[in-house]
Amino acid sequence: GEDVEQSLFLSVREGDSSVINCTYTDSSSTYLYWYKQEPGAGLQLLTYIFSNMDMKQDQRLTVLLNKKDKHLSLRIADTQTGDSAIYFCAHTALTGGGNKLTFGTGTQLKVEL
């Protein structure tokens, strides 16, 4: 099956930039996603990128995709305490049966004062 790997933990100081990394193995991945999960909550879609793009920016979030190396990253500028959460990378390949996502194990981001 397809594997998606993420580091388990990241700790940053408030105001610094955070970079969360993800690698995947499925070369047929079409869309790649970043979700945020706060404690006890569901998953919030942050952003996603189509595989023919190499960068997408949305306010404080920048997604970089290196398709050759199958590497995806999420940069959060000016990280705040409210950004503390688990961040999941996910991908999908287009099929006739909808949008089935394969997730990484998640990276827990801790923002310290």
Q: Write the interaction track for other proteins spanning residues 41-60; mark x where CB under 8 A is met and - where it is not.
A: xxxxx--x-x----------
Q: Which is nearer to other proteins, 14 or 21 (CB)?
A: 21
* Nearer Cβ to other proteins (43/61): 43
As a whole number of angstroms, the distance between CA 34 and CA 46 comes to: 6
Closer residue to other proteins, CB minimum distance, 82 or 96: 96
Which of the stretches 12-20, 61-69, 75-83, 104-112 binds other proteins when contact is defined by CB under 8 A? 104-112
CB of 101 to other proteins, least distance (A): 6
Nearest CA to 76 out of 33, 6, 16 is that of: 16
What are the angstrom distances between the C-alpha of 23 and each of 7, 41, 58, 64?
10, 25, 21, 12
The token pair that represents 2 in the structure block: 């397809």
β-bridge pairing 9-13 and 107-112: parallel
Of 9-17, 58-66, 71-79, 97-105: span binding other proteins (CB under 8 A): 97-105
Backbone angles phi, psi at 111, to 5 degrees: -110, 120
Binding site for other proteins (CB under 8 A): 1, 4, 30-31, 33, 35, 41-45, 48, 50, 88, 90, 92, 97-106
